[in-house]
Amino acid sequence: MKGDTALIQFIVSILLFFVIFFGLAFILNMLLRRTWLLAVIYPFIVLIIVDDISTVEYFTSPGESFAQAFSRLTNITAADITILLAGFIGTIVSGFVIRLLRRSGYQMF
């Protein structure tokens, strides 16, 4: 029974990350008219999600905090990578949808 719950949580997490980052990228693309902006920013968002470090520590002790962040990045599991990859795919799909809508003549503002 516990394995079933973990699988359901995994699938819901994948869908949730895809939808959340698709929506964020879509709104950001609509407002700023920069199609691939969130896809470029996404690696920094992943770093914020994965690490357990305050943003201030990146400026006060950069060597130690970056080393700790990259060690945590290398220690994430395949399930975490899959979930984070679903968010990245959501940002990419959002960029293609925005481009398709713009080609079709839709104007956001």
Domain extent at residue 34:
2-103
- How many independent structural domains does the chain possess? 1
Tell me, yes or no, whether 6 lies in a domain.
Answer: yes
Tell me, yes or no, whether 109 lies in a domain.
Answer: no
- Comparing 89 with 68, the larger pLDDT belongs to 89
What is the rounded (10 degree) CA torsion for 43, 46, 47, 49?
Answer: 160
Tell me, yes or no, whether 70 lies in a domain.
Answer: yes
pTM as predicted: 0.84
* 61-77 pLDDT, tens digit each: 888 988 888 888 889 99
Tell me, yes or no, whether 64 lies in a domain.
Answer: yes
Tell me, yes or no, whether 87 lies in a domain.
Answer: yes
* 9-38 pLDDT, tens digit each: 999 999 999 999 999 999 998 888 887 888
Residue 3 parent element (H or E): helix 2-32
- Section 27-52 average pLDDT: 87
3-state helix, strand, coil in the chain (%, to 5): 85, 0, 15
